[in-house]
Chains A and B, each alone.
Chain A
Amino acid sequence: MPEAALRELTFAQAVREALAEEMRRDSTVCILGEDVAEAGTPFKVLSGLVEEFGTVRVIDTPISEAGFTGVGVGAAMTGMRPVIDIMFGDFLTLAMDQLVNQAAKVHYMSGGKWKVPMVLRTTLGATRRSAAQHSQSLHAWLSHVPGLKVAMPSTPYDAKGLLKSAIRDENPVIFFEDKMMYRQKGHVPAEDYTIPFGVAEVKRAGTDISLVATSSMVQVALGAARLLEKIGISAEVIDPRTTWPLDEKAIVESAKKTSKAIVIDEGYSRYGVTGEISSVISEGAFFDLEAPVKRMGAMHVPIPFSPPLEDVTVPTEQAVFDAARALCGKD
């Protein structure tokens, strides 16, 4: 198909389309969260869904993250497929017992008898001038817990395919959307398709260095790769797409091929996703590496409000470019 004919949607539209298609396909899918119905969320991601599916399936809740997430767990155990909306990822803290001690444990603790086919959609990402309690990227916390799956789409195409997989999954899935990416456009097929969990995608092929990037950092890595190309460095950008299950094999293969790797993720790098993935590379590709694996994540500070302060807390194209150039011995 010629490129001009490709159908484009924004990231937000892709999320909405996935939800609408799954709600048409399966009457047990329902949405619960704050201002999800007529308001369509503050980000307008869900606009139009209540008009089609009504307030019986698109349900405004009180501001009770623990309460309605807990309701989601119980509903999922008893025949529904709830999609819980937690407006800002920072508010996950309020629902942590429901996710960590309840949703994640029910299947195992019951010897495999009860299941929790629930999706929890939430957001991550800084640089929106929202300060320390509306800007965090806390996906590492959930990736740490056995029993949960964590998806982190980086394109509209991936958002639709991964969300449909999440809704059909028999397990609790935490689905992180970068709120700065909602207006980003990309090709999204109109037809039904799913993207399996645990399958990384090479977003750009390269031979000199691997840039392993998640969610918001994929576009940053692709930008850095374009800058690197200009100085003769061929960077491969690989996106795990789900932090659990994690496609360790594809990441290790890429690092073995290029012999150098940088892991870029918007969560804090201490005890975070970058640490985990860099260990996977170090353990799996040690004898093929020409340099230590480098981690790039959010600075270890609460996200500040003032723009000049906030902007330095997150890895940028330039920072990734500089790090890659240094790692390739070209500085």
Chain B
Amino acid sequence: MSQTADEPKTSAGISLEKWLRIYRRMQMIRLFEEQVNELYTRALMPGLAHLYVGEEAVAVGICEALRADDYITSTHRGHGHCLAKGARPDRMFAELLGREAGYCRGKGGSMHIADPATGNLGANAIVAGSAGIATGAAFSAKHKGQQQVAVCFFGEGALGQGVVYEVMNLAALWKLPVLYVCENNLYTEYTHFTETTAGDVLARGPAFGVPAESIDGQDVRAVHSVATRLVERARQGQGPAFLLCNTYRYSGHHVGDINREYYRSKQEEQEWKTRRDPIKLFSDWLLGEKLTDASTLGRIESEVRAEMQAAVDFAIAAPYPQPEEVEQDVYA
């Protein structure tokens, strides 16, 4: 994931190859989720899923600032984080369909994808449930002196959970290398966050001596730039930080949340999609700066689309686990 020294640099000091990788990753998340919605609609997927469409710039911008051995924890809306940290779409789809070839051998499903190989400590279906785990990974990293960083992704709904503040206090006291990334997509399930969140979100970090910054979560370059600085700061032993990413969830709370005009208007959704779309904003910039051309971006999109189709086909054809496996892995 990190940049190699001999790649030619663009104006922001980042190679074209890396910008195109960022573009590809964002498209991967977008098209992965498109397939998930399709699987749900065709009744091929057991249960539900919470789509990350609209928020791609956050996961990609941040994970592109991480090393392969850095840690992340994710949320119920976690597909984007897992893909951004390097998970394979075919094994993710297999997990979503409850197949043996899935990342968790079918035992976790959409909300629990975990993968030690990419430093993914797991998506978590308890809101704020992974705050302790991410902080504990940072505790280990500091103890072992391997300069790893842990990123804790959570939605603004988690700001209502006390454990977030407990671990921020601990991380500040012990100067742990952890980045708390709050994705404010405006809606805590079916309720606007202003109805559930008092005071200033950004003030929560400094209350513990944790520096906090707020950024446009639709601008992958801004996310990546700030994340790179805060991750390096943590890596150098200067402690935790709080990063508020202002973003928007295009879909409902989950794939079954279709009629949602009682909590937000179609007009609002349309405005975000047309004016604030993270992939469009980024591709407009790439083209405007003449770093690449439309046919290159079109080719990447086609490649990703084909990759996602192949990954879905793999998952649909993959066998289910044997019933005897139900009692495996309760204990190590």
- Establish whether residues A97 and B129, one from each chain, have CB atoms under 8 Å apart when the complex forms: yes
- Establish whether residues A149 and B139, one from each chain, have CB atoms under 8 Å apart when the complex forms: no
B8 at the interface (CB under 8 A from A): no
Q: In the bound complex, what is the Cα–Cα distance between A111 and B115 (angstroms)?
A: 10
- Establish whether residues B170 and A62, one from each chain, have CB atoms under 8 Å apart when the complex forms: yes
Q: In the bound complex, what is the Cα–Cα distance between A98 and B108 (angstroms)?
A: 17
Q: In the bound complex, what is the Cα–Cα distance between A75 and B332 (angstroms)?
A: 17
- Establish whether residues B170 and A75, one from each chain, have CB atoms under 8 Å apart when the complex forms: no
Interface string of A66-105 (1 = CB under 8 A from B): 1111111111111110100000000000000110011000
B134 at the interface (CB under 8 A from A): yes
Distance in Å: Cβ of B133 to nearest Cβ of chain A? 4
Chain A residue with Cβ nearest B141 = A78
Contact of A70 among B112, B163, B332 (CB under 8 A): B163
- Establish whether residues B332 and A98, one from each chain, have CB atoms under 8 Å apart when the complex forms: no
Chain B positions within 8 Å of A71 at CB level? 132, 135-136, 139, 167, 170
- Establish whether residues B136 and A76, one from each chain, have CB atoms under 8 Å apart when the complex forms: yes
Q: In the bound complex, what is the Cα–Cα distance between A97 and B104 (angstroms)?
A: 21
> Which stretch, A2-10, A112-120, A253-261, touches the partner chain B?
A112-120
Contact of B170 among A64, A101, A111 (CB under 8 A): A64
Q: In the bound complex, what is the Cα–Cα distance between A247 and B133 (angstroms)?
A: 32
Give the interface size class of chain B.
35 or more
- Establish whether residues B107 and A74, one from each chain, have CB atoms under 8 Å apart when the complex forms: no
Chain A positions within 8 Å of B122 at CB level? 106, 109-110, 114
- Establish whether residues B116 and A113, one from each chain, have CB atoms under 8 Å apart when the complex forms: yes
- Establish whether residues B169 and A62, one from each chain, have CB atoms under 8 Å apart when the complex forms: yes
Q: In the bound complex, what is the Cα–Cα distance between A9 and B149 (angstroms)?
A: 43
B102 at the interface (CB under 8 A from A): yes
B12 at the interface (CB under 8 A from A): no
> Which stretch, B17-25, B40-48, B179-187, B323-331, touches the partner chain A?
B323-331
- Establish whether residues A80 and B139, one from each chain, have CB atoms under 8 Å apart when the complex forms: yes
Chain A positions within 8 Å of B105 at CB level? 111-112
Contact of B107 among A62, A72, A108 (CB under 8 A): A108
Contact of B169 among A64, A79, A108, A109 (CB under 8 A): A64
- Establish whether residues A70 and B162, one from each chain, have CB atoms under 8 Å apart when the complex forms: no
A170 at the interface (CB under 8 A from B): yes
- Establish whether residues A114 and B121, one from each chain, have CB atoms under 8 Å apart when the complex forms: yes
Contact of B129 among A78, A102, A108 (CB under 8 A): A102
11 A-B pairs with CB atoms under 8 Å apart are: A62-B170, A64-B167, A67-B163, A67-B170, A68-B170, A74-B73, A74-B135, A77-B133, A108-B329, A112-B105, A112-B329
Q: What 3 A-B pairs are tightest by C-beta distance, nearest first?
A: A70-B132, A74-B136, A67-B166
